[in-house]
């Protein structure tokens, strides 16, 4: 093995990345102490992608989406639920762990010394001031959010979904599938356009309309108010129009949850800055998942990736990087082609790669239905591809981007 | 290595295919096909383990 039994590893974050770090440490035979600070949710890890898909539609239960844990760990595991890492000591390898309710206040809590710290604290939903806490107004980030939304579905209230990104578009489709009248609002012209571009944005808009979702784009919500605890909610828009809804979903994106590291001597300008092997400026502090900002050698640039597959792959890699350091080896770079998917009206939108900064788009057809298939190029090289119900075409591009990027960048993935 | 998929759960999300394309193949009807012969390559075995634990709908089971 692998470290020694007197070592302590702190894992901050109770979702997929944290879960995978713990499982990987165990799989590698680490026999020391692991303190797993699982965060404010107070739940065992679960499949977050299922929230806006199967769970909202009532096709699975909360229990069915729990991530399976080994019956027994070989390492000594201390799980701290409803607790958060609140501070990283800039001068010593220790973190302050406080009850979640007291986060932000530094009274009490427990300083825990560590030999290694894995930062897997992910993101939280972005909520503009004044939009939070209104009855009938919900974001969707956590299992608790999904539960609160489901409680509102019974009377099939009119729903307004604000934000037509991935979560907003998926929620509009899922709520429509539950029989609710749905309006989808976005500041842009087309759903998911910043993600997929105009072609698939237009395709998506047509699907929403075909399923009876009304859209208000471009439009900006300027005011939200609730008439009472049971609603309805009134929304006003920048053009002066108004509407009401029994349920408002805010899909306004998410912000990285690593502000607790402020003052810990780390670069937090966009998530948590890491080297190519996912180590921060403090080599025994590593990151995985949505927070990790690293230089991806496949693309030769820094990025953060807010998707499921990335969280588990980075967690594995970060554990490997730490173990390499323990053995005096230089760890390899995390060279990966990001992948995500979205389910809407029975269609599977899939994207591989990193389209940011692309300067050319090619549109073809692919898959059995001949839906649009888009490749995104930068300086003449394919950097991303997206399709609908065309997994084989999408995954062929993943392999191609990986191998061409690896060749171009001279990296052994 | 015995690999099985629960078809009542599998939604063809393609995560497994992205990790281990030599073993998992999702067709354009979003139906998952698992290779009849699993390669003996330990790299592929590691990919399979990763794919099983990364399945977002928990549809894959592996017996080693």
Q: Can you read off the two tokens belonging to residue A35?
A: 């303190």
CB within 8 Å of A57: residues ≥ 6 apart: A174, A177, A178
Phi, psi of A121 (to 5 degrees): -85, -5
Asked if pLDDT for residue A185 goes beyond 50, the answer is yes
pLDDT digit string, tens, across residues A331-350: 999 999 999 999 999 999 99
Whether B29 and chain A come into contact, CB under 8 Å, resolves to yes
Query: Using 50, 70 and 90 to split pLDDT, how confident is the model at A211?
Result: very high
Chain A residues touching residue B53 (CB < 8 angstroms):
20, 23, 68, 312
What is the ipTM score, two decimals? 0.95
Residue-wise pLDDT for B27-53, tens only, equals 999 999 999 999 899 999 999 999 999
Which domains does chain A possess?
A: 8-122+257-326 (3.50.50.60), 125-254 (3.50.50.60), 339-409 (3.30.390.30)
- A141: helix, strand or coil: coil
Minimal Cα–Cα distance from A216 to chain B, Å? Answer: 29
Is pLDDT of A107 > 70?
no
- Mean pLDDT value of segment A88-107: 85
Rounded CA separation A297/A412 (Å): 9
* Residues of chain B found within 8 Å of residue A47, distances taken between Cβ atoms: 56-58
H/E segment holding residue A312: helix A308-326
- Per-domain residue ranges for chain B? 2-63
Q: Which tokens sit at A204?
A: 């998506």
Instruction: Give per-residue burial for A127-145: e unless 16+ CB within 10 Å, then b.
Output: beeebeeebbbbbbbbbeb
Element (H, E) at A363: strand A360-366
Q: List CB contacts of A346: < 8 A, sequence separation 6 or more.
A: none
Size of interface A-B (CB pairs under 8 A): 76
The residue in chain A having the minimum alpha-carbon distance to the alpha carbon of residue B60 is A68
Query: What tokens appear for B32 in the block?
Result: 């998952």
For A374, the 3-state DSSP assignment is strand
Q: What CA–CA distance (Å, rounded) separates A269 from A152?
A: 38
In this prediction, residue A132 has a pLDDT band, given cuts at 50, 70 and 90, of confident
Predicted confidence (pLDDT) at residue A412 exceeds the cutoff of 50 = no
Select from A60, A64, A350 the Cβ nearest to the Cβ of B14: A350
Distance CA A263, CA A245 (A): 43
A192 has a pLDDT exceeding 60: yes
Exposure b/e, A164-186, CB count within 10 A at least 16 = b: bbbbbbbbbbbbbbbebbbbbbb
Inform me whether the C-beta atom of residue A320 falls under 8 Å from chain B C-beta atoms.
no
Cβ neighbours for A197, distance < 8 A, ≥ 6 positions apart = A355, A361, A374, A376
Task: Tell me the C-alpha distance between A314 and A122, whole Å.
Answer: 12
Residue corresponding to tokens 């323990």: A326
Residues from chain B that touch A313, judged by Cβ atoms under 8 A, are 19, 50, 54
Whether B6 and chain A come into contact, CB under 8 Å, resolves to no
Which pLDDT tens digit goes with each residue over A219-276?
999 999 988 887 799 999 999 999 999 999 999 999 999 999 999 999 999 999 999 9
Architecture of domain B2-63: 2-Layer Sandwich (3.30)
Q: What is the dihedral of CA A314, A318, A323, A329, to 10 degrees?
A: 100
């Amino acid at each position: 093995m692998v470290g020694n039994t007197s070592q302590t590893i702190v894992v901050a974050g109770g979702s997929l990345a944290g879960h995978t770090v713990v499982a990987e440490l165990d799989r590698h035979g680490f026999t020391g102490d692991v303190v797993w600070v699982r965060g404010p949710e107070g739940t065992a890890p679960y499949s977050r992608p299922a929230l806006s898909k199967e769970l909202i539609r009532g096709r699975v239960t909360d229990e069915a989406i729990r991530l399976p844990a080994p019956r027994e760990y070989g390492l000594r595991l201390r799980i701290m639920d409803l607790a958060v890492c609140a501070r990283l000591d800039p001068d010593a390898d220790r973190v302050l762990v406080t009850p979640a309710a007291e986060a932000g206040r530094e009274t009490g809590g427990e300083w825990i010394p560590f030999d290694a710290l894995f930062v897997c604290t992910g993101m939280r939903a972005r909520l503009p001031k004044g939009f939070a806490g209104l009855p009938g107004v919900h974001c969707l980030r956590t299992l608790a959010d999904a539960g609160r939304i489901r409680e509102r579905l019974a009377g099939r209230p009119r729903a307004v979904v604000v934000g037509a990104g991935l979560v907003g578009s998926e929620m509009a489709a899922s709520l429509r599938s539950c029989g609710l009248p749905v309006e989808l609002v976005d500041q842009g012209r087309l759903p998911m356009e910043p993600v997929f571009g105009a072609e698939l944005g237009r395709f998506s808009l047509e699907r929403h309309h075909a399923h009876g979702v009304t859209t208000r784009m471009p439009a900006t919500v300027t005011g939200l108010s609730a008439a009472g605890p049971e609603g309805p909610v009134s929304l006003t828009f920048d053009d002066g129009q108004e509407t009401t809804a029994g349920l408002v979903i805010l899909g306004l994106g998410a912000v990285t949850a690593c502000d607790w590291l402020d003052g810990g001597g780390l670069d937090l300008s966009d998530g948590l800055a890491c080297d190519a092997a996912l180590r921060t400026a403090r080599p025994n502090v590593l990151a995985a998942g949505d927070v990790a900002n690293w230089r991806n050698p496949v693309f030769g640039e820094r990025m953060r990736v807010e998707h499921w597959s990335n969280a588990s792959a980075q967690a594995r890699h970060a554990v490997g990087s730490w173990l390499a350091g323990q053995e005096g080896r230089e760890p390899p770079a995390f060279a990966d082609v990001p992948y995500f998917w979205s389910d809407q009206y029975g269609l599977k939108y899939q994207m591989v790669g990193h389209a940011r900064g692309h300067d050319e788009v090619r549109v073809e057809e692919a898959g059995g239905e001949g839906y649009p298939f888009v490749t995104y190029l930068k300086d003449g090289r394919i950097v991303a591809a997206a399709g609908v119900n065309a997994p084989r075409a999408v995954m062929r591009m993943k392999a191609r981007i990986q191998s061409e990027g690896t060749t171009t960048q001279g990296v052994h993935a | 290595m015995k690999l099985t998929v629960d078809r009542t759960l599998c939604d063809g999300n393609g995560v497994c295919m992205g990790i281990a394309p030599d073993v998992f193949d999702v067709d354009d009807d979003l139906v998952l096909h698992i290779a009849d012969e699993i390669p003996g390559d330990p790299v592929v075995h590691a990919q399979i383990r990763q794919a099983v634990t990364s399945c977002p709908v928990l549809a894959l089971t592996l017996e080693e």
